[in-house]
Each structure stands twice: as C-alpha cells, then as structure tokens.
Chain A
Amino acid sequence: MSPLLHVETLRIAAGPHAPALVDGISLELDRGKALGLVGESGAGKTLACLALLRLLPEGLHIQDGRIRLDGQELTALTDTEIRRLRGGRIGMVLQNPLSSLNPLMRIGDQIGEAFAVHRGVRGRTALWKLAVEALRAVRIPTPEQRVSAYAHQFSGGMRQRVAIAMNIACAPDLLIADEPTTALDATIRLQVLRLLGDIRRERRMALILVTHDLPMVARFCDDVAVMYAGRIVERGPVEAIFANPAHPYTRGLIGATPRLDGRRRLATIAGQPPSPGSIASGCAFAPRCDVADAGCRQGRIDLLDLGEQRAAACRKPFARPPAEAAA
C-alpha cells in the first residue's frame, strides 16, 4: 500500500542560491502511523511542516522537491485547492495554545469556522452544534456550556485540546503537532499526548509529532526522523533507533536525555548547530562529531540505507568513539 505522505528532496530557502534552511529532506508516512520529527531548535522541523501546507513565512519558498499526499502532488496545486487541503486533509496544532487561538472570538465560532469553510455549514446554531461534538471528541467536560466561552477562560491544557478539536473537526488524514506540549505543565502533557494517541487510533489519522523531547517520541511514535541543520540525518522505527542509534548525533541526543535511574552520566554535545550555508561540504555535524574523520568533511553525505527500514546520513554508522567501544 502506498504511503499517505511522500516527501522527496524538499528544499526550502529564501532564494535559489540562498543558504537552504531545509536541505533536501525525504520522508514517508503511512496512513494511521505516527512519525516523530526530532531535532534542536533551528533544525528546520517546523519549516518543513509549514511547507506541506504552503504556509511558509514571508520570504521563504520551496526551491525544490516533491510532496505527495495520497498520490496528489501538493506543489502543483492552485491556491484554492491548497486551501481546501488545509484543515480538510492536513491539520496543524501549534506550540502555544494561548496565542494560537483568537482571543476575541468565541470558541464555538472558531471551531465552527472549520466546518463553515470545509463543509459549507451556515448559521451559528448549526455550527455550534458541530463545535460541541468536536469538543466532546477531545474530552472537554460540559461542552455545551464551554462552547460560548473565550480562549482565556480555559486552562492551558484545555486550550490545546480546543486547538486539536479545531484541527480534527473535518477529519483530516494527517495531523501535524508542532511541540504541542512544550508550553504546558508537565502534569498536563501526558493527558494531551494520550488524547492525540487515542484520536489517531480511532480515526486512523497519521500524526507527525515535532518535538525535541526524545522520551515522548519513544513512547508515542512508530517511526522517528532526526533532523540536523536542515537535513534528515537518521530515520527508522523507534525501537531500533533508540536501542542502537546509527548516527552520532542521534547517539548524542539520546545520551543527553536525563535518565531517572541516574545510571548514565548526562552527556552533552559540545558546540552549536551551524548557521545555514556555513558548512559548504561534508557532514554538517562533523565539527561536533566524536568519530568524524577527514572523509566526513568532503562531498555530500546522503542517506545510507541500513536495512530494516532504517537509514542514516553517515559514513560510519554505528561507530563509537574508542573509549566507549572499549567500555
């Protein structure tokens, strides 16, 4: 069965010769599966997602690449067609639920707007009825009373549920969640993530979870793609990668994750991610890599197929530094 989403060599930059912020990434997502998109701030995760919806910020454009949703080429769509896609087939939940909801519009109107745009429903009564159902689906208590409220009258976790409700209202095939729990209290995070998982299973909806939180990915996703400096450096099934990371950056990320059992010392990756275009050739991670050699700084390092649906952009996958190998 062909994948739901197929992205091929997607390149995003300000101009054809400007440094690329997303540098030729490729990924696939099957229907109903969850993909974790992981990386540090500035790696290009959010931009890649916005590109799917053609909502890149002013000045940035898709310079190259293909995006296919269920076989349909998204880059070739007209503006009207793309708008039908937004909310209709792809939804996106943003990071900060307070700023992503319109403070002056009632929740019922905001959720109802999705139905008005995609299902042509008119009239507040009808729209609010649908909004109540949507609120119920995200498990907000007493939705009939809540539907007339404003965003600021909800708590943080509830607001994020409202945002999710808005996005799944018209049953999209794919939901993108861009750091959906970063702005929430630790206690609420689990609830929201569980909700996302349940919805995904109920509706067979694909999910792209953008985050820098690895344990979250380990727990809630089927596959993971690790991004660094605009490129995907490793991708594959979650368990395999977490058990035995191939790319040194992935290894570093896992090592930098605090463990409650305190067994391993918290390791950090020295240095900073490079600014776009500053690494002219070779692996972008080479300056910070503990197993890099001269060959790593030349040419273009593409994704290497490692079998078992894994791939890594590394000349020396699974390599370990001498001290660790000896341990």
Chain B
Amino acid sequence: MGGFLLRRLAGSVATILLASLVIFVLIRLVGDPTHLMLPPEATDDDRALLRQELGLDRPMVVQYATFLFDLLRGDMGESFSYRQPALPLVISMLPPSLMLAGAAMLMAVALGVPWGLLAAYRPDGWADRTGRVFAVLGQSGPPFFVGLLLIRLLSVNWRLLPTSGYGDVTHLVMPAFALSWYSAAGLLRLTRASVTEALRSDYILTARIKGVSDRAVLLRHALRNAALPIITFTSSQFGILLGSAVSIEAVFAWPGFGKLIVDAISQLDYTVVQAGVVVAAVLFIAINLCTDILCAALDPRIRLGS
C-alpha cells in the first residue's frame, strides 16, 4: 500500500504542476496586463518600464520558472483591485465557501443515502417512486435557479427564511440546500443502484441462508459493500459543489471564494483569478487523493493484495 500511496501522491503533484502550467499559459494569452495597470495616458516608455519591473520582458520559460518559484513561496502577485497580495486574499475568502460546500455535502449525504437505501430495499415502493422524482428534478435544475426558486417560496411567499446574506444557520439553509440538491440526486441514484447490485450477489444469498435478518443483511452486508462507490462519488461531487458554489454565492450574496473570482473576472483582476484557480485546483486534487487513499484503505483487496 505504501507504493500505491507514493504513486498517487506523485501523480497528484504532477497534475498540480501541469495545471499550473496550463493556467500560466492561459493567463499570458490574455495579453499585456500593463494596459490595465496604468492610466490610459501612460506612454509606451512607462509601459516598457513597468513590463521590465514585472519581469514580463523575459523569456517565457524564465517567467514560468519565476511563477512556480513564487508560487511555492506563496507569492502570487498583488490584486489590482484590492491592492493586497492575491494568494492570501483568495485563501481568506475560502472559509465561507467551505462552510457552504461542507453543509451542502452533509445535506446531500443525509438525504441521498438513506433515501437510496430505502428505494433499493423496496423497489417500486413509495421511497423508490418519490426518490426517482426527486432525483430527476434535482439533476435538471441548475443550482442558481433552484436557489432563486427557494428564495421566492421560502423567503418571499412564506417568510420562513432570510433572502440572502451571511450570518447564522437560517442564512445557510437555503444556499446549502440549493447547492446540495444535484449531489443528493446523484447520491440517491448511485446508492440505489449499488445497493440493488449488492443485494443481487451471492454473498447476500449466503447471508440469508445463514438466517441473518433482512435489516442486518441490508445494513451489515449490502450497505458496507456498496459504500465504496458511494464514497468515491461523494468526493467527486466536491469539485462540482465548488463550481456550483460560485453561482450560489452570487444568488445569495454569500461572501465567499466564488464571488471573489467572478468579480475578479469582471474587473480583469488577473492575479486574483490566477490565484483562485490554482487554489481550487489544489483543493480539488487534494480531495481526490484523499478519496483514493480512503478507498484503498477500506477495500482489503487493494490494501492487502492477494
């Protein structure tokens, strides 16, 4: 297992490096940022001076090397709009987004897994039928629209929750749910499929032949064996949640990472965009790595070999 870990770690680092290269190239493609940094009356000489200062006149390879080096030191330049170092700025905006994504993840699991389990246990029962509707709607509604619907219903019509903003739990409920619905839908379907699959296997029959009760068969055997794909899926959802959080934050005026990135794009604040994308990539890759490790740890066939 040690070798497996090392290989995955090396692979992740390689992916991060490659991602940083792609991001670097893309940002450079935009063109000369000096246009934005200086007032329009600036002369070409001023511009040339600034370029030299920023190191933009050096060969691309050198620029990339500097970029990487600075990245490792945590220096990703300064935000044009906020006049602060970009990387710390981006990281400081992470907690609200992580809180949102975390709440959404919890909701998705709490909703999707038990519901899927029930649906698998009693096919065509009411859990299965309502689950199907829930799932198909959840995967059809773009999160930002779902958020708006919720605001209209729960805030405007029924006055149950505040419309937007950042604060206590009541402010978290709607954005988290809007964010979670898509993942909950996927989890429900996956749980149902995996558990149904597990229930059809021979070892389930063996357990029943032994006289194990239906409930124990479901929980101790079927769910445990179906857990692996469910866990993998849950982690893969994290990236989607991060992405959708961007639009949710816009809808609910949630002061987080996503809102920062979108604003930065509109303001052409490229250092912030760069920093944000790099941070998102690192986070995402790290989560994937953890999931792989978790799966390997849980599956004795991978862990112990044969």
Show the binding face of A for B, using Cβ within 8 Å.
53, 55, 83-88, 91-92, 94, 96, 99-105, 113-114, 117-118, 150, 152-153, 163, 166-167
Kindly provide the distance from the CB of A233 to the nearest chain B CB, expressed in whole angstroms.
28
| Residue of A with least CB distance to B201 | A99
Which residues of A have CB within 8 Å of B212? 83, 113, 117
- Does B206 have its Cβ within 8 Å of any Cβ on chain A? yes
In the complex, chain B residues whose CB is within 8 Å of the CB of A84: 211
Within 8 A of A (CB), among B190-233: 201-203, 205-213, 221, 224-225
B210 near A150: Cβ-Cβ < 8 Å: no
Closest to B123 in A: A58
Contacts of A100 in B (CB 8 A): 202-203, 205-206
The chain A residue sitting closest to B299, CB to CB, is: A104
Tell me, yes or no, whether B157 is within 8 Å of chain A by CB: no
Check: B35 CB closer than 8 A to any chain A CB.
Answer: no
B229 to chain A, nearest CB (A): 13
Number of A-B contacts (CB under 8 A): 73
Closest chain B CB from A174 CB (angstroms) = 12
Write the B155-170 contact mask toward A (1 if CB under 8 angstroms, else 0).
0000000000000000
Do residues A113 and B210 form an inter-chain contact, with CB atoms below 8 A?
Answer: yes
Given known A-B contacts A100-B202, A153-B306, A166 and B301 have beta carbons under 8 A apart: no
Q: How far is the CB of B124 from chain A (nearest CB, A)?
A: 11
Give the residues in chain A near B304, CB-CB below 8 Å: 150, 153
Answer yes or no: B300 CB below 8 A from chain A CBs.
yes
B206, A101: Cβ atoms under 8 Å?
yes
Q: Which of A101, A103, A153, A167 contacts B209 (CB 8 A)?
A: A167
B225 touches A86 (CB 8 A): no
Which of chain B's residues have a CB closer than 8 A to the CB of A87? 209-211
Partner of B206, one of A117, A153, A166: A166
* Chain A to chain B contacts (Cβ below 8 Å), 11 pairs: A55-B209, A83-B211, A83-B213, A85-B211, A86-B209, A100-B202, A102-B225, A105-B221, A113-B212, A118-B211, A150-B301
Closest to A166 in B: B210
Give 1 or 0 for each of B90-127: 1 = CB within 8 Å of chain A CB. Answer: 00000000000000000000000000000000000000
Would you give the shortest CB distance from A182 to chain B, in whole angstroms? 13
The reply to whether A102 and B299 form a contact with Cβ atoms under 8 Å apart is no
- The count of residues in chain B whose C-beta lies closer than 8 Å to any C-beta of chain A is 21
Given contacts A94-B202, A104-B225, A118-B211, 8 further A-B contacts (CB under 8 A): A55-B205, A83-B212, A92-B209, A100-B202, A102-B206, A117-B212, A163-B206, A166-B210
Q: Are A103 and B211 in contact (CB under 8 A)?
A: no
For residue B298, which residue of chain A has the nearest CB?
A104
A92: B residues at CB distance < 8 A: 209
Contacts of B205 in A (CB 8 A): 55, 94, 100
B210 touches A117 (CB 8 A): yes
| Interface SS majority for chain B | helix
Q: Which residue of A lies closest to B228 (CB)?
A: A104
User: Closest CB-CB distance, A137 to chain B, in whole Å?
Assistant: 16
Residue among B203, B224, B301 with the most chain A CB within 10 A? Answer: B203
Q: CA A296 – CA B304 in complex, angstroms?
A: 61
Q: CA–CA, A105 to B198, complex, Å?
A: 14
Contacts of A96 in B (CB 8 A): 202
**With A113-B212, A152-B306 as given contacts, are A103 and B206 in contact (CB-CB < 8 Å)?**
no
A91: nearest residue on chain B (CB-CB)?
B209
Assembled-state Cα–Cα distance A88/B212 (Å): 11
Q: How does the 8 Å CB contact mask read for B28-41 relative to A, with 1 for contact and 0 for none?
A: 00000000000000
Beta-carbon nearest neighbor of A80 in chain B? B213
Q: Which residues of A contact B203 (CB under 8 A)?
A: 99-103
By a CB distance below 8 angstroms, the chain A residues around B209 are 53, 55, 86-87, 91-92, 94, 167
Inside 8 A of A86's CB, which chain B residues have their CB? Answer: 208-211
Provide the residues of chain B in CB contact with A104, threshold 8 Å: 224-225, 298-300
Within the complex, the shortest CB–CB distance from A54 to chain B, in Å, comes to 10
Chain A nearest CB, measured from B279 CB (Å): 36
- B210's closest neighbor in chain A, by CB? A87
Digit string of B180-195 for contact with A (CB within 8 Å is 1, else 0)? 0000000000000000
Smallest CB separation, A215 vs chain B (Å):
26
Which residues in A have their C-beta under 8 angstroms from that of B210? 86-87, 113-114, 117, 166-167
**List of A residues within 8 angstroms of B300 by Cβ:** 103-104, 150, 152
Q: In angstroms, how far is the closest chain B Cβ from the Cβ of A320?
A: 42
In the complex, what's the smallest C-beta–C-beta distance from B35 to chain A, in angstroms? 60
User: Cα distance A104–B300 when bound, in Å?
Assistant: 7
Please indicate the chain B residues that have their CB under 8 angstroms from the CB of A167 in the complex. 209-210
Mark interface residues in B224-261 (1 if CB within 8 Å of A CB, else 0). 11000000000000000000000000000000000000
- Please, which residues of chain B bring their CB within 8 A of the CB of A118? 211
**Nearest 7 CB-CB pairs, A to B?**
A86-B211, A87-B211, A87-B210, A100-B202, A99-B202, A102-B203, A150-B300
CA of A96 to CA of B205, assembled, Å:
12
- CB contacts (< 8 Å) of B306 on chain A: these are 152-153
Residues of B close to A103: CB separation below 8 A: 203, 225, 300-301
Task: Let me know if B301 and A102 touch, CB within 8 A.
Answer: no
Question: Which chain B residue shows the least CB distance to A117?
Answer: B211
Provide the residues of chain B in CB contact with A114, threshold 8 Å: 210-211
A53 vs B211: C-alpha distance in the bound complex, in angstroms?
Answer: 9
Q: Tell me the nearest residue of chain A to B300, going by C-beta.
A: A150
Determine the distance from Cα of A167 to Cα of B211 in the docked complex, in whole angstroms: 10
Identify the closest chain A residue to B208 (Cβ): A55
Tell me the minimal C-beta distance from B29 to chain A in angstroms: 49
Specify the chain A residue showing the minimal Cβ separation from B303: A150
Residues of B within 8 A of A99 (CB): 201-203
Alpha-carbon distance between A66 and B224 when the two chains are bound, in angstroms? 37
Q: How far is the CB of A173 from chain B (nearest CB, A)?
A: 14
